[in-house]
C-alpha cells in the first residue's frame, strides 16, 4: 500500500495538474442520470445552452446512490465551484447541512421550496397548473372517457402533478375517469422504464386511451408502450413530443432548463436566500406544441388550453395544490 | 543376462521438488516377462519415480528406454501409447458407471458409444479368459468389492494394450485372500509375457511374488537384487539404513479390571444404513484388544462413536460408569474428560490440522486445559514449552514446534499425535491404523510406545487393517465383518489364515473354503470398503 | 510450502499484483482515449493530496475495515459471508433506532449504545443464515446473498413507511439529534494543533475500526475460540474429533462476522450522514470480500487493504467528478485490483516461488546423511508425491 502510494505519487509529480478552475458553475443531477429524457436532461440542456452561448464550462456529476449527495456537494464547494446547482427534492437535506459550511458559495436547488438558508436559491414550479392544461387536452383527446396517470416515486411532488392533471380532466369532462398509479416508493422509481411499461399496459386494460407520465426516466417506458399499443401519451418536464412523433399528445413542460440557464447566467451574482415559484404566468410551466404533435392538437383543443391558461393566470380558475392540505379534490391516491 | 532388450530401462533419472531431491540418479533395468519389486519407505521416492515413468512428472535429468528404444513420456497418453499401464493405490473409477463403461472411459473410438462398448465387451471376454480376470462387465463399480475394482483397473490397462503394468501398493485395501488372488493373477500375467512393476512397502509381498527387487531410500536406489538371493531382514536394513527389529518384543499381558465394556452397540449412518449391528466387546486394563477386519466393516464407526463424534445406541460403560452415546455429553471434549484418548485412523484428516504448527497441534482437543490457558487468552509460551518437551521425548524430527504439521513425514506426524494422546495418561487409548503410511523405523518406535502404555496398565483398543500389526501387538483379537464381531481369538492361538476367513465373514474356520466363496461374501458386505481407505 | 520468505509472501506478492492491475487499468484508460498518468495523478491528488481527500479516503477505509474484518473472521471458519452488505444495512437500522429513539446525554454513551445496536442487528442478520447452515445445511453463500436482498427490501419499507419524517419526500430517516454527533477527525485533531479538513467525514469510528483489528487479531490468534474457529476452518473432521461443535462454531463465527459488518454503521450512518438513507452502505459489504482476500484474512492485511480500497474509492469519485472517464470504468479498475490481488493470486505467486527456488537450488535436500538413525523430516511435496 505505502509503496503503491509512492509509485503513484512519483507519477503524480510528473503529470499535469487537472481539475476544475475556480468559479465555474457546477451541476449535480439527481438519480436517473442526465440522459433521462426528462427532468435531468432538461437541466443538462439548460446548462449546455449556457455553455454554448457564453463559451463557459461547467462541472457536473450524476448521482449513483443516495449516500453520495453530500460528498458531491462538498467536493464542488471545496473546489470553489460557484454557483452549485442541484436537482431534486432529495438534495434538500444534504444542502441544509453543507450550505452553512460554505457561506461564500451560492447554491440553487430545483424542486425545493421549504428550506431557510441564506445562500441557497430555491426554485419550484407550479406543476399543478401545467398539469391542469394537459389534463384538459387529455380529456378532449380521450374517446373512452378514461385517462391514466403514471407517477414515479410516490411523493407529494408527484401527487401534486397528478392532482392538477385530474382537475383539468374533470373540469373538461366531468364523466371522465382518472386512473393513477405510482411506480414505487424509492428513488429507483425514477428510472424503471420496464415497470412504467407494465403499469401503462395495466391502465390500457382498464380502458385508458391517454396516459400522462410524471416519472422521470420511467416515463420513457410509458411513452414507448403507449406508442406500441396505439394510445396517446403525455410527456413531462422536457419536450418529449419527438420521442414518438404523432403518438405523444403533448408534453407538460417544466422549464427546468430555463431555471438552470438563468442560474448559470447569473453566475456569482445569483440571488440567493429566496424561493422562486415559476408558474404559467412566468412561463415556468406550459404545454408543448410542435411539428411532432400539431396533427393531434385540434383547434378546439388549442382554444380550450389557451382559455384555461389565461383563466388560471387571471385567477378565474383556481387549481388546487396538493400541498395545501395533502389531499386532492379530484383524485384519490 | 540375455540378449533381449529390457522392457524398461531407466538411466540416471533425477527429479527435485524445490529443495527436495525426490529421485537422484536412478537407474533400473526390468526384463520382459518378470515381476520387479520396488520397495522403500514412505517418501523414499518410489511413487515419484513411477509418476515419471507414467508421464505425470518430467524428470530433471535421465533417459527412459522402452524395449530398448529411447522414449519420451511427456504425459500419460504417451505412456499408454508406449504400452505402460498403471494401477493406482486409489482407484480412478467412476462409481456409478458399469465395469465396461469404466474400461472404455478415455479410450472411446469415435463419437458414438455403442460401437466402443460392443468392441470392448468382446475384448474383455477374451482378456478374462487369457488371464483369469473374471468380472461382470455390466455390474456397477459401486456394487462390487475392492478386489474386483482392482481387477477392473488391471483390465483397463490391458484393454489399452499395456505390456508393462505398474501397481502402486496394490494390497493395501485387500484381505489376505484377495491379495493371494491378486498374486495369482500377476503370476499368470507374467507367464503371458507381461512385465510388472510392483511398488510396495511390505516385505512379505516382495518375497512372495517378485523376481528382482530394487530398494529405494531417500530418493536413491540403494540396491537391486534377485529376490531369491535376499531375505526380509536384509531388505529392511537396506530400506531403513540400519538393522530393524521386525517383531515386537513384549511380555505377556497381565490384564486387570474391565475398563471399557461395550454391549449391543449400534450405529446408523446418515443414509440410514446400519454400520454397527450390535457390537459386544470388553477391553481390560493392561491389555491390547486388536480389532481386525477389512476396511469399511464398521471399525471406523466404532472408533468414532467411542471417541464421541458419532452417535450410537447401546450400553457402553467406562470404568463402570455409563458413557453417553449421543447428545450434548457425547463429544470429544467430554470423552477426553473421562480419560479416553484417541489416535484417529486418519491423522491427516482428523488427528492433526495440517496447516497448524506442531505446537498448536500439540494441544488439539486439549486446548481448554487450564495449564494451556491464562485467563481469556491461550498461554502460547506454556504450549510451546510443552510441545518441545513432548517432541523431544517422542523423538519427533525435526524437533521444531513451529513447523507446520504438513511438513513432517507421516511417521513424525503420527508421533506428534501419539505424544499428545499418550502423554495425557488416559485410562483407555483408542488407536486406529497406528502405522499407516509410517516408515519402518517409526513403526518400531510407535509399537514400542503402545506396548509401554499397555504395560503401565492402560486399556488399548487397536484397529488396524494390517493383520501383521494386529498379530504383533494384540493380546486378544476380535474380527469385524459387516458391522458385527465375527469372533474373538487369543493372539497366540490364531494365525493369518483363520483371521482372514473371519474377516471375510466365515465363522466356520475349521474347513476349507474356496476363494470364490470368500470373495462373494466380501462383495456382499464391504461394497464400499474402498471409500474408507 | 514455505518456499518464500515471509516478506515476499506478504509484501511482494500483493505489490506485484497491484502493479499489474495498475498497468492493465492504465491500458484501459488509454483505450478510451484518456491520459492514464493524468488520471492517476488526479486520483492520488484527490484521495491523498489534501486532508479533505485523506478524510474521505479514511472514511471509506473505515467502512472497509469493518466489512473486511467481518469477511475475514468468517473465512477463518471457511464460511463465505457474502452478506456483509445486508448486515451493514441492518446495522444502520440499529444505529438509527438507537440514535432517534433514545435520548443520549453524550456522544460517548451514544457511540456505545448505537454500536451495540448496530452490532446486534448485524449479528442477527448473519445468525439466521448461520443457523440455516449449521442446522439445515443451506449454504451461507446462497443465504447471505439472499439476505442482502431481504435487508434492502426491509430497509426500504422501514424508511418509506416508518422512519420517514412527516412531510418529507425523501425516503430517509430524520436527522439524528446533535448529542449523537461523533467527533470528526477535524474535531479530534484540532486540540493537537493539527488542521484537518472540517468537511471530511472521517470520524472517531476510524479508531474503533483500528481497535476492532486488534480485537479480531486477539480473538483469532490468542483465544481458544479463535483456535477452534481456525481448526474448524482447516478441517471439519478434525474439529469433530477434537470435540469442537460445528454448529456452535458456525453460529458464533457468523454472529461475530455479522456484528463486525453491522458495526460499520457507526461510521457511515452515525458518523457521516447522521441519518439513515437508502443504500447507505454503497457496496462496502462486497468490497469487504476483496479486502479480506487481499489482506489474507489477517487484521493487519485487512487494515492496509482497506486503506488501498479507500484510496481507490475516493480517487475513483474524483475521477468521476473531474474527467469524462465514466464511473463504470472506475468500477473496472477496482475490479482489476480485486481480480489480481484475490483471484489471480497464484499467477504472481507461482513464478515468484520458482524464482526464489532458483536461488535456493544449490542447497542439499534436508538431511541426506545416511548415518541418521531415525527417518528425518520430509517436505510435504515428496510426501504428496508418494
pLDDT digits (tens, 9 = 90+) for B101-128: 888 887 777 677 777 788 888 888 888 8
SS (H, E, C) B359-408: HHHCCCCCCCCHHHEECCEECHHHHHHHHHHHHHHCCCCCCCCCCEHHHC
How close, in Å, is residue A10 to chain C by CA atoms? Answer: 9
B288 and B186 in a common domain = no
User: Where do we find the cell 457536473?
Assistant: A60
A86 or B524: whose pLDDT is higher? Answer: A86
**What is the average pLDDT score of chain B?**
86
pLDDT at residue number B523: 62
Q: What is the dihedral of CA B168, B169, B175, B178, to 10 degrees?
A: 30
**Is the model more confident about B58 or about A209?**
A209
The top-level CATH class assigned to A21-126+260-265 is alpha beta
pLDDT digits (tens, 9 = 90+) for B35-73: 999 988 766 788 888 889 998 888 889 999 998 889 888
String of DSSP letters for B152-174: HHHHHHHHTT-SEEEEESTTTT-
| pLDDT value, residue B516 | 67
Closest chain C CA to residue A112: C169
How big is the CA angle at A167 (ends A164 and A173), to the nearest 5 degrees? 145
Q: Which of residues 250-279 of C touch A (CB under 8 A)?
A: 268, 272-275, 277-279
The yes-or-no verdict on residue B419 having pLDDT over 90 is yes
How many CB pairs (< 8 A) connect A and C?
Answer: 119
Residues B192 and B268 reside in one and the same domain: no
Site from A7, A18, A72 to mutate, C interface, most C CB atoms within 10 angstroms: A18
pLDDT value for C372: 34
Contact residues, chain C, for A74 at CB < 8 Å: 199
Residue B335 domain-assigned (yes or no): yes
- Contact C57/C307 with Cβ under 8 angstroms? yes
In angstroms, the Cα distances linking A289 to A36, A298, C7 are 21, 11, 72
Distance in angstroms (rounded) separating the CA atoms of residues A267 and A83: 6
| Cβ of residue C20 closer than 8 Å to a chain A Cβ | no
Q: What is the mean pLDDT of residues B437-455?
A: 87
CATH number at residue B466: 3.40.50.300
Report CA-CA distances (Å) from B42 to B435, C169, C382.
11, 74, 9
Q: What is the mean pLDDT of residues B268-278?
A: 87
The answer to whether residue C5 is domain-embedded is no
Residues A95-138: tens digit of each pLDDT: 998 999 899 999 999 999 888 899 999 999 999 999 999 999 99
Whether C15 is in a domain gets the answer no
> How many Å lie between the alpha carbon of B405 and the closest alpha carbon of chain C?
9
Residue C153 domain-assigned (yes or no):
yes
Inter-residue contact A211 to A147 (CB < 8 Å): yes
Average pLDDT over residues C309-330: 81
In a domain? residue B159: yes
Question: What was the pLDDT predicted at A165?
Answer: 96
* Chain C interface, Cβ < 8 Å to B: 1-3, 218, 222-224, 227-228, 230-231, 234-235, 237-238, 240-245, 357, 360-361, 363-366, 368, 370-383, 385-386
pLDDT at residue number A19: 40
Nearest CA in chain C to B375: C223
Instruction: Report residue B148's pLDDT band, with 50, 70 and 90 as the boundaries.
Output: confident
Shortest distance, CA C347 to any CA of chain A (angstroms): 19
Average pLDDT over residues C333-358: 78
Beta bridge partners of B274: B268
**Does position C37 have pLDDT exceeding 80, yes or no?**
yes
Q: What pLDDT band is residue B468 in, cutting at 50, 70 and 90?
A: confident
Residue A18 has pLDDT above 60, yes or no: no
Predicted confidence at residue B285, as pLDDT, reads 95
Q: Are residues B220 and B308 in the same domain?
A: no
Q: Please provide the DSSP assignment of A159-203 as one string.
A: HHHHHHHHHHHHHH-TT-EEEEEEEESSGGGGG-HHHHHHHHHHH
Chain centroid offset of residue C386 CA:
40
Burial class (CB in 10 A: 0-12, 13-18, 19+), C135: exposed
**Domain count of the fold of chain C:** 1
A98 neighbourhood in chain C, CB within 8 Å: 199
Q: What is the pLDDT of residue B245?
A: 63
Those of residues 121-150 in C touching chain A at CB distance below 8 A are none
C190-205: pLDDT as tens digits: 999 888 988 889 999 9
Q: Which residues of C are less than 8 Å from A76 in CB distance?
A: 321
Neighbours of B512 (CB within 10 A): 6
Give me the pLDDT at residue B519, please.
65
Within a domain: C16: no
Total domains in the fold of chain B: 2
C360: confidence class by pLDDT, cuts 50, 70, 90: low
Residue C19 covered by a domain = no
Q: Do A11 and C41 touch (CB under 8 A)?
A: yes
Whether C280 has its CB under 8 Å from any CB of chain A: the answer is yes
Reply yes or no: is the peptide bond before residue A83 cis, omega within 30 of 0: yes
**Which residues of chain C are within 8 Å of residue B334 when distances are taken between CB atoms?**
243
Contact B439 C365 (CB under 8 A): no
Query: Which chains pack against A, by 3+ Cβ pairs within 8 A?
Result: C
**Alpha carbon distance B439, B375 (integer Å):** 41
The answer on B53 and B169 residing in a single domain is yes
In a domain, B88, yes or no: yes
Residue of A16, A71, A155 lying closest to C38 (CB–CB): A16
CA nearest to B345 within chain C: C241
- How confident is the model at residue B46, as a pLDDT? 84
**Considering only CA atoms, which of C207, C210, C208, C233 is closest in space to residue C220?**
C233
Which cell numbers in the block locate residue B141?
463399480
Q: C375 falls in which pLDDT band (50, 70, 90)? A: very low
Cβ C282–A67 below 8 Å, yes or no? Answer: yes
pLDDT band at A14 (very low <50, low <70, confident <90, very high): very low
Could you identify the residue written with the cell 461547467? A58
In a domain, C361, yes or no: no
Q: Under a CB-based contact definition with an 8 Å cutoff, are residues B214 and B28 in contact?
A: yes
Asked if B18 lies within 8 A of C3 by C-beta distance, the reply is yes
C177 Cβ under 8 Å from any chain A Cβ: no
What's A128-253+285-325's CATH class?
alpha beta
- Subunits adjacent to chain C (3 or more Cβ pairs under 8 Å): A, B
Whether residue A187 and residue C171 make contact (CB cut-off 8 A), yes or no, is yes
Minimal-distance CA residue of chain B relative to C373: B242
Confidence of residue C3 (pLDDT cuts 50, 70, 90): low
Q: Are residues B200 and B270 located together in one domain of the fold?
A: no
Q: In the prediction, which pLDDT does C232 show?
A: 96
- B350/C377 Cβ within 8 A: no
Answer yes or no: do C238 and B353 touch at CB < 8 A: yes
Q: Among all residues of chain A, which has the CA nearest to that of C278?
A: A66
Nearest CA in chain A to C281: A67
The residue range of the domain holding B459 is 258-348+426-532
**Mean pLDDT of all residues in chain A?**
88
- Tally Cβ neighbours within 10 Å of residue A228: 13
Calculate mean pLDDT across residues B509-525: 67
* HEC letters along A7-44: HHHHHHHHCCCCCCCCCCCEEECCCCCCCCCCHHHHHH
**pLDDT on residue B303:** 94
CB spacing of C44 vs A78 below 8 angstroms: no
B167-215 pLDDT, tens digit per residue, is: 988 887 777 778 888 898 899 899 989 999 998 877 888 888 999 999 9
- Looking at chain A from residue 40 to 69, which residues have their Cβ under 8 Å from any Cβ of chain C? 59, 61-62, 64-68
Contact B354 C378 (CB under 8 A): no
**Contact with chain A for residue C187, Cβ under 8 A:** no
Cell of B359: 505446537
**Residue C2: pLDDT over 60:** no
Distance from CA of C251 to the nearest CA of A (A): 32
Contact A4 C41 (CB under 8 A): no
pLDDT above 50: residue A8: no
pLDDT band at C293 (very low <50, low <70, confident <90, very high): confident
Average pLDDT over chain C, rounded to whole? 86
Contact A16 C19 (CB under 8 A): no
Question: Domain span at residue C192?
Answer: 64-303
CB-CB under 8 Å, C175 with A61:
no
Placement of cell 371522465 in the chain: A176
Mean local confidence (pLDDT), B293-300: 86
- Residue C385 domain-assigned (yes or no): no
Chains A and B touch, using 3 or more CB pairs below 8 Å:
no
- C382 and B41 in contact by Cβ < 8 A? no
A19–C307: do the CB atoms touch at under 8 Å?
no
**C215-219: average pLDDT:** 97
Is some CB atom of chain C closer than 8 A to the CB atom of A93?
yes
Q: Residue B387 falls within a domain, yes or no? A: no
For position B288, what pLDDT does the model report? Answer: 96
Chain A positions in Cβ-Cβ contact with residue C272 (cut-off 8 Å): 67, 70
Question: Does position A247 have pLDDT exceeding 50, yes or no?
Answer: yes
pLDDT of B521 above 60: yes
Using a CB–CB cutoff of 8 Å, tell me whether A113 touches chain C: no
User: What was the pLDDT predicted at C323?
Assistant: 78
B330-335 mean pLDDT: 91
Point out the residue among C230, C365, C380 whose CB comes nearest to the CB of B406.
C380
pLDDT tops 80 at residue B149: yes
Residue B141 pLDDT greater than 90, yes or no: no
* 3-class SS shares of chain C: helix, strand, coil, % to 5: 75, 0, 25
Q: Where are the domains of chain A?
A: 21-126+260-265, 128-253+285-325
Amino acid at each position: 500500500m505505502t509503496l503503491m502510494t509512492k509509485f503513484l505519487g512519483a507519477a503524480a509529480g510528473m503529470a499535469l495538474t487537472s481539475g476544475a478552475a475556480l468559479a465555474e458553475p457546477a451541476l449535480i443531477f439527481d438519480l436517473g442520470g442526465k440522459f433521462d429524457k426528462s427532468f435531468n436532461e432538461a437541466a443538462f440542456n439548460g446548462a449546455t445552452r449556457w455553455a454554448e452561448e457564453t463559451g463557459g464550462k461547467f462541472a457536473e456529476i450524476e448521482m449513483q446512490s443516495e449516500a453520495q449527495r453530500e460528498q458531491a456537494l462538498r467536493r464542488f464547494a471545496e473546489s470553489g465551484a460557484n454557483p452549485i446547482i442541484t436537482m431534486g427534492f432529495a438534495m434538500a437535506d444534504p444542502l441544509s447541512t453543507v450550505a452553512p459550511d460554505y457561506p461564500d458559495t451560492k447554491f440553487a436547488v430545483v424542486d425545493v421550496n421549504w428550506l431557510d438558508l441564506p445562500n441557497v436559491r430555491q426554485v419550484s414550479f407550479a406543476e399543478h397548473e401545467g398539469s391542469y392544461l394537459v389534463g384538459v387536452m387529455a380529456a378532449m383527446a380521450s374517446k373512452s372517457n378514461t385517462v391514466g396517470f403514471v407517477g414515479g416515486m410516490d411523493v407529494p411532488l408527484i401527487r401534486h402533478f397528478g392532482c392538477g392533471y385530474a382537475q383539468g380532466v374533470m373540469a373538461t369532462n366531468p364523466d371522465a375517469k382518472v386512473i393513477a398509479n405510482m411506480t414505487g416508493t424509492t428513488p429507483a422509481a425514477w428510472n424503471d422504464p420496464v415497470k412504467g411499461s407494465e403499469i401503462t399496459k395495466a391502465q390500457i386494460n382498464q380502458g385508458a386511451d391517454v396516459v400522462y407520465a410524471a416519472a422521470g426516466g420511467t416515463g420513457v417506458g410509458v411513452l414507448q408502450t403507449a406508442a406500441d399499443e396505439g394510445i396517446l401519451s403525455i410527456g413531462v418536464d422536457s419536450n418529449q413530443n419527438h420521442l414518438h412523433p404523432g403518438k405523444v399528445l403533448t408534453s407538460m413542460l417544466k422549464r427546468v432548463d430555463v431555471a438552470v440557464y438563468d442560474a448559470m447566467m447569473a453566475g456569482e451574482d445569483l440571488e440567493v436566500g429566496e424561493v422562486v415559484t415559476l408558474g404559467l404566468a412566468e412561463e415556468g410551466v406550459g404545454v408543448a406544441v410542435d411539428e411532432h404533435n400539431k396533427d393531434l392538437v385540434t383547434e378546439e383543443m388549442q382554444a380550450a388550453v389557451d382559455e384555461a391558461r389565461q383563466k388560471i393566470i387571471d385567477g378565474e380558475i383556481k387549481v388546487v395544490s396538493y400541498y395545501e392540505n395533502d389531499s386532492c379534490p379530484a383524485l384519490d391516491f | 543376462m540375455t540378449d533381449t532388450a529390457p522392457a524398461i530401462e531407466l538411466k540416471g533419472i533425477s527429479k527435485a521438488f524445490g529443495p527436495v531431491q525426490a529421485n537422484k540418479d536412478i537407474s533400473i533395468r526390468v526384463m520382459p516377462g518378470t515381476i520387479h519389486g520396488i520397495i522403500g519407505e514412505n517418501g523414499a521416492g518410489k511413487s515419484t519415480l513411477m509418476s515419471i515413468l507414467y508421464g505425470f512428472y518430467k524428470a530433471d535429468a535421465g533417459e527412459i528406454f522402452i524395449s530398448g528404444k529411447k522414449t519420451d513420456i511427456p504425459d500419460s497418453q504417451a505412456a499408454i501409447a508406449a504400452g505402460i499401464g498403471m494401477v493406482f493405490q486409489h482407484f480412478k473409477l467412476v462409481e456409478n458407471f458399469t465395469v465396461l463403461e469404466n474400461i472404455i472411459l478415455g479410450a472411446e473410438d469415435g463419437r458414438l458409444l455403442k460401437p466402443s462398448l460392443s468392441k470392448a465387451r468382446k475384448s474383455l471376454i477374451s482378456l478374462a479368459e487369457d488371464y483369469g480376470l473374471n468380472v461382470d462387465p455390466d455390474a456397477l463399480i459401486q456394487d462390487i468389492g475392492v478386489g474386483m475394482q482392482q481387477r477392473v483397473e488391471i483390465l483397463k490397462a490391458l484393454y489399452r494394450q499395456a505390456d508393462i503394468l505398474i501397481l502402486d501398493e496394490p494390497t493395501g485395501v485387500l484381505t489376505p485372500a484377495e491379495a493371494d488372488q491378486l498374486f495369482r493373477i500377476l503370476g499368470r500375467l507374467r507367464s503371458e509375457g507381461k512385465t510388472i512393476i510392483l511398488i510396495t512397502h511390505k516385505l512379505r509381498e516382495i518375497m512372495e511374488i517378485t523376481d528382482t527387487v530394487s530398494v529405494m531410500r531417500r530418493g536413491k536406489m540403494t540396491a537391486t537384487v534377485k529376490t531369491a538371493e535376499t531375505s526380509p531382514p536384509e531388505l529392511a536394513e537396506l530400506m531403513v539404513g540400519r538393522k530393524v527389529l521386525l517383531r515386537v518384543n513384549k511380555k505377556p499381558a497381565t490384564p486387570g479390571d474391565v475398563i471399557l465394556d461395550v454391549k449391543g452397540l449400534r450405529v446408523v449412518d446418515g443414509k440410514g444404513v446400519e454400520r454397527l449391528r450390535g457390537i459386544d466387546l470388553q477391553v481390560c486394563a493392561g491389555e491390547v484388544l486388536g480389532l481386525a477386519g477389512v476396511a469399511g466393516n464398521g471399525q471406523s464407526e466404532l472408533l468414532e462413536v467411542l471417541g464421541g463424534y458419532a452417535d450410537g445406541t447401546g450400553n457402553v460403560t467406562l470404568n463402570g460408569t455409563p458413557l453417553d452415546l449421543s447428545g450434548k455429553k457425547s463429544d470429544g471434549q467430554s470423552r477426553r474428560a473421562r480419560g479416553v484418548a484417541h489416535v484417529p485412523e486418519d491423522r491427516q484428516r482428523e488427528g492433526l490440522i495440517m496447516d497448524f504448527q506442531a505446537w498448536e497441534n500439540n494441544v488439539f482437543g486439549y486446548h481448554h486445559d487450564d495449564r494451556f490457558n491464562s485467563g481469556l487468552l491461550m498461554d502460547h509460551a506454556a504450549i510451546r514449552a510443552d510441545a518441545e518437551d513432548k517432541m523431544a521425548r517422542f523423538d519427533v524430527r525435526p524437533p521444531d514446534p513451529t513447523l507446520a504439521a504438513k511438513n513432517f513425514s507421516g511417521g513424525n506426524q503420527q508421533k506428534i499425535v501419539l505424544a499428545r494422546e499418550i502423554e495425557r495418561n488416559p485410562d483407555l487409548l483408542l488407536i486406529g491404523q497406528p502405522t499407516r503410511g509410517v516408515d519402518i523405523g517409526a513403526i518400531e518406535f510407535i509399537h514400542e510406545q503402545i506396548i509401554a502404555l499397555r504395560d503401565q496398565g492402560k486399556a488399548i483398543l487397536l484397529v488396524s487393517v494390517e493383520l501383521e500389526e494386529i498379530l504383533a501387538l494384540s493380546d486378544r483379537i476380535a474380527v469385524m465383518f459387516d458391522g458385527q464381531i465375527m469372533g474373538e481369538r487369543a493372539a497366540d492361538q490364531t494365525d493369518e489364515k483363520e483371521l482372514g476367513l473371519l474377516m471375510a465373514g466365515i465363522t466356520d474356520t475349521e474347513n476349507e473354503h474356496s476363494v470364490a466363496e470368500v470373495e462373494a461374501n466380501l462383495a456382499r458386505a464391504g461394497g464400499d470398503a474402498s471409500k474408507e481407505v | 510450502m514455505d518456499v518464500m520468505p515471509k516478506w515476499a509472501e506478504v509484501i511482494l506478492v500483493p505489490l506485484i499484483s497491484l502493479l499489474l492491475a495498475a498497468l492493465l487499468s492504465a491500458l484501459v484508460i488509454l483505450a478510451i482515449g484518456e491520459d492514464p498518468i493524468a488520471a492517476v495523478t488526479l486520483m492520488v491528488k484527490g484521495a491523498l493530496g489534501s486532508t479533505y481527500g485523506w478524510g474521505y479516503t479514511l472514511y471509506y477505509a473505515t467502512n472497509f475495515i469493518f466489512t473486511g474484518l467481518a469477511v475475514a473472521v468468517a473465512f477463518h471458519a471457511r464460511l463465505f459471508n457474502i452478506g456483509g452488505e445486508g448486515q451493514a444495512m441492518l446495522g444502520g437500522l440499529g444505529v438509527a433506532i438507537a440514535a432517534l429513539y433514545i435520548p443520549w446525554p453524550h456522544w460517548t454513551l451514544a457511540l456505545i449504545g448505537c454500536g451495540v445496536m448496530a452490532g446486534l442487528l448485524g449479528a442477527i442478520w448473519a445468525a439466521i443464515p448461520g443457523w440455516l447452515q449449521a442446522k439445515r445445511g443451506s449454504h451461507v453463500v446462497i443465504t447471505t446473498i439472499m439476505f442482502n436482498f431481504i435487508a434492502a427490501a426491509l430497509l426500504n419499507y422501514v424508511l418509506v413507511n416508518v422512519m420517514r419524517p412527516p412531510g418529507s419526500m425523501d425516503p430517509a430517516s430524520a436527522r439524528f439529534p446533535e448529542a449523537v454527533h461523533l467527533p470528526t477527525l477535524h474535531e479530534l485533531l484540532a486540540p493537537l494543533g493539527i488542521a484537518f479538513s472540517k468537511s471530511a467525514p472521517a470520524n472517531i469510528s476510524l479508531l474503533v475500526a483500528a481497535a476492532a483489528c486488534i480485537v479480531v487479531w486477539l480473538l483469532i490468534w490468542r483465544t481458544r475460540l479463535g483456535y477452534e474457529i481456525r481448526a474448524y476452518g482447516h478441517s471439519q473432521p478434525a474439529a469433530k474429533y477434537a470435540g469442537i461443535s460445528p454448529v456452535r462454531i458456525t453460529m458464533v463465527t457468523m454472529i461475530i462476522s455479522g456484528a463486525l459488518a453491522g458495526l460499520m454503521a457507526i461510521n457511515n450512518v452515525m458518523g457521516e450522514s447522521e441519518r439513515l438513507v437508502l443504500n447507505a452502505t454503497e457496496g462496502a459489504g462486497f468490497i469487504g470480500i476483496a479486502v479480506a482476500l487481499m489482506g489474507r484474512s489477517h487484521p493487519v492485511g485487512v487494515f492496509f487493504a482497506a486503506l488501498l480500497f479507500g484510496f481507490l474509492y475516493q480517487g475513483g469519485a474524483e475521477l468521476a467528478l473531474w474527467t469524462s472517464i465514466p464511473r463504470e470504468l472506475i468500477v473496472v479498475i477496482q475490479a482489476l485490483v480485486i481480480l489480481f490481488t484475490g483471484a489471480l493470486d497464484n499467477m504472481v505467486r507461482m513464478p515468484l516461488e520458482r524464482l526464489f527456488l532458483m536461488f535456493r537450488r544449490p542447497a542439499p535436500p534436508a538431511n541426506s546423511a545416511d548415518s541418521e538413525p531415525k527417518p528425518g523430516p520430509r517436505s510435504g511435496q515428496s510426501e504428496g508425491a508418494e
